[in-house]
Amino acid sequence: MIEMQDIWKTYADGTHALRGVSVRIDRNEFVYLVGPSGAGKSTFMKLIYREEVPTKGQISVNGFNVGRLKQRKIPYVRRNIGVVFQDFRLLPNLTAFENIAFAMEVIEAPRKLIKRRVSEVLDLVGLKSKANSLPAQLSGGEQQRISIARAIVNNPSVIVADEPTGNLDPETSWGIMNLLEEINFRGTTIIMATHNKEIVNTIRKRVIAIEGGQIVRDQVRGDYGYDI
């Protein structure tokens, strides 16, 4: 479970990115974060995976107070959160297999388990045949599938996806959405920032709308409601 209580985030240059956000996201929810550019969506997500810390307020992820986490505890929290970006962020000199394996190596998983689990997630994302390809040899949609495989390989309870379909064509985007739905169905909370109205209005989930750093709408199975 994720809980924010009166979260404020002011960056070093004085920009108020979040202004008093309070929200609760339960285990196994699928949530869209929508709102105009600069609204605070990425900041909201960065606080969850502890890329940023709040200026004020409380945020807890699975019972960990991530706003005031001791340095040595950060890896424990990160392990439980998979992150997916618009631009994939795969390591260019590693194969698809190695990119996914890397996420397990950093937590010192045993070699045998790594081999088994990476094969399993490659299968889940439908790319077993591309295990030995480098990112540059994969299409955008395939790269995003590999980055999703990397995000889920350590069995996180939460996936944070920041515009995961932002660089993909419509058809490829629907494939990525099916995959995220499947992962959610298997028991992972998903928080996804998006500007894609069609996706939000078609695959109906909870919609949290942010504007000017504040939650302006929070609807179960809502529509997009924005013109961007």
Ligand X SMILES: Nc1ncnc2c1ncn2[C@@H]1O[C@H](COP(=O)(O)OP(=O)(O)OP(=O)(O)O)[C@@H](O)[C@H]1O
Cβ at position 151, least distance to ligand X in Å: 18
- DSSP secondary structure letter of residue 49: T
Question: For residues 162 and 86, is the Cβ–Cβ distance under 8 A?
Answer: yes
What is the contact surface with ligand X in residues (CB under 6 A)? 11, 13, 15, 17, 35, 37-43
CA distance 177 to 198: 12
118 binds, among ligand X, Mg ion, none (CB under 5 to 8 A by kind): none
Instruction: Please identify, using beta-carbon distances, which residue of 35 and 156 lies nearer to ligand X.
Output: 35
- DSSP secondary structure letter of residue 86: T
Cβ at position 139, least distance to ligand X in Å: 23
Q: What is the number of the residue whose Cβ is closest to Mg ion?
A: 42
CA distance 172 to 199: 12
Instruction: Please identify, using beta-carbon distances, which residue of 128 and 212 lies nearer to ligand X.
Output: 212
Q: Fill in the amino acid letter for 18.
A: L
Applying the rule CB under 5 A, the residues between 97 and 126 that interact with Mg ion are none
Adjacent-strand bridge partners of 85: 162
CA distance 175 to 179: 6
Cβ at position 180, least distance to Mg ion in Å: 17
CA distance 84 to 57: 25
67 binds, among Mg ion, ligand X, none (CB under 5 to 8 A by kind): none
Report the alpha-carbon angle 21-22-23, nearest 5: 120
Task: Choose the stretch contacting Mg ion; rule: CB under 5 A; options: 37-45, 60-68, 141-149, 195-203.
Answer: 37-45
Q: Does the protein bind Mg ion through residue 165 (CB under 5 A)?
A: no
Instruction: Please identify, using beta-carbon distances, which residue of 42 and 143 lies nearer to Mg ion.
Output: 42
As a whole number of Å, the CA-based R_g of the chain is 17
Tokens of 170: 């419509």
Instruction: Please identify, using beta-carbon distances, which residue of 39 and 90 lies nearer to ligand X.
Output: 39
155 binds, among Mg ion, ligand X, none (CB under 5 to 8 A by kind): none
173 binds, among ligand X, Mg ion, none (CB under 5 to 8 A by kind): none
CA distance 37 to 41: 8
Range 155-185 burial, b when 16+ CB lie within 10 A, else e = ebbbbbbbbbbebbeeebbbbbbebbeebbe
76 binds, among Mg ion, ligand X, none (CB under 5 to 8 A by kind): none
From the list 21, 33, 42, 209, which residue makes contact with Mg ion (rule: CB under 5 A)?
A: 42
Nearest of 124, 139, 129 to residue 82 by alpha carbon? 124
227 binds, among ligand X, Mg ion, none (CB under 5 to 8 A by kind): none
Instruction: Please identify, using beta-carbon distances, which residue of 41 and 50 lies nearer to ligand X.
Output: 41
Positions touching Mg ion (CB under 5 A) are: 41-42
